[in-house]
Amino acid sequence: MVYGWPLESGAMSTFTIDSSTSRATPSPVPGKRTTAPAIRGRKVDGKTEQPIVMLTAYTMRMAQLLDPHCDMLLVGDSLGQVIYGLPSTIPVTMEMMCAHGAAVVRGSWHALVAVDMPFGSYEASPEQAFHCASRIMKETGCAAVKLEGGEAMAPTIEFLTHRGIPVIGHVGLTPQAVNVLGGYGARGREDQEAKKILADAKAVDQAGAFSIVVEGVLEGIANDITKAVSAPVIGIGASSKCDGQVLVTDDMLGLFERTPRFVKRYDDLASRIGDAAKAYAEEVRDRGFPTADQTYRPKS
């Protein structure tokens, strides 16, 4: 077996059969969604008129709810912690990314869906990256992949983009490298590291990434990168100087008690879900639920 082939084993199809015509109906229709060139084209002469909106999505229903509001949906490998309760993104597998990627594509119709390449699926060689990225695209129907790394990954990004795979780069704080970085703190506080992050972003840009996620860096670095590269820069914990923003949806919805400093909570779903579950439990215990409204009776 080479790099997770054959493709067909366990593949989750995004394509459905139209029962009235018995024809396979590709969903989405290629070209009808926001495309990688359209995202790339939002930055003109170094400026992005309207900031690009991106959120993570891991499930069909969440994709349906977010899609009308987003330019891009990212099936992030953050699903390792958010969905699977894993300690980091390191154990995330191709199977997880393909299953959740396909669900998000099925739940969306407008936004470009990008799927993260999991740790260990692309670093060894451009060929390994191509095999895994093409599998992700075939099994999910997504329009792009994202991979972490700067100068070291530039040849891989070039290899993929020249072979029909749009790539989003990811520099700065790269969570898959947590064991090398020693933690999830903001990057670029030392001059030398700040220069390296800028060089990483330039390398990824020149390699053909159609946009670049910049995570957890000081505002000055985000500003320098955004000015220096031609691709739109999507920031997370990288200030307002970027061409767009991304957040982990579960963080911004307030599903977790502890979130990084750069997260703004737009809701407090954790306590609202807790309140709803408490009310349900109380009604079940005192026989207040179900009532006649929720009960099947013979038709009169």
**In terms of Cα–Cα distance, which of 62, 106, 53 is closest to 82?**
62
CB of 24 vs ligand KIV, minimal distance in Å: 31
Of 14, 73, 103, 116, which one interacts with ligand KIV (CB under 6 A)? 116
What track of x and - describes contact with ligand KIV for positions 243 through 282 (by CB under 6 A)? ---x-x----------------------------------
Q: What type of residue sits at position 247?
A: L
Closest to 173 (Cα-Cα) out of 159, 187, 183: 187
> Which of 78, 108, 156, 211 touches ligand KIV (CB under 6 A)?
78
Instruction: For residue 48, list its beta bridge partners.
Output: 43
Among 4, 42, 76, 160, binds ligand KIV (CB under 6 A): 76
Is 215 catalytic? The answer is yes
> Which one of 56, 121, 156, 176 is in contact with ligand KIV (CB under 6 A)?
56
Contact 163, 130 (CB under 8 A): yes
Query: Pairing mode, if any, of strands 43-44 and 47-48?
Result: antiparallel
Q: Please state, in angstroms and rounded to a whole number, the distance separating the CA atoms of residues 151 and 117.
A: 17
The site for ligand KIV, by CB under 6 A, has a size of: 11
* Closest CB to ligand KIV: residue number: 76
> Does residue 77 belong to the site contacting ligand KIV (CB under 6 A)?
yes
Q: How far apart are the first and last CA of the chain?
A: 63
Nearer residue to ligand KIV within complex by CB, 30 or 183: 183
Give ∠ CA 11-163-52 in degrees, rounded to 5. Answer: 85
User: Which CB, 184 or 289, lies closer to ligand KIV?
Assistant: 184
Region 149-188 residues binding ligand KIV, contact defined as CB under 6 A: none
Stretch that binds ligand KIV, among 76-84, 225-233, 258-266, 292-300 (CB under 6 A): 76-84
Contact 89, 16 (CB under 8 A): no
Count how many residues are written for the chain.
300
Report how far residue 246's alpha carbon sits from residue 238's, in angstroms, rounded to the nearest whole number: 10
Residues in touch with ligand KIV (CB under 6 A) = 56, 74, 76-78, 116, 213, 215, 236, 246, 248
Q: Known catalytic residues?
A: 215
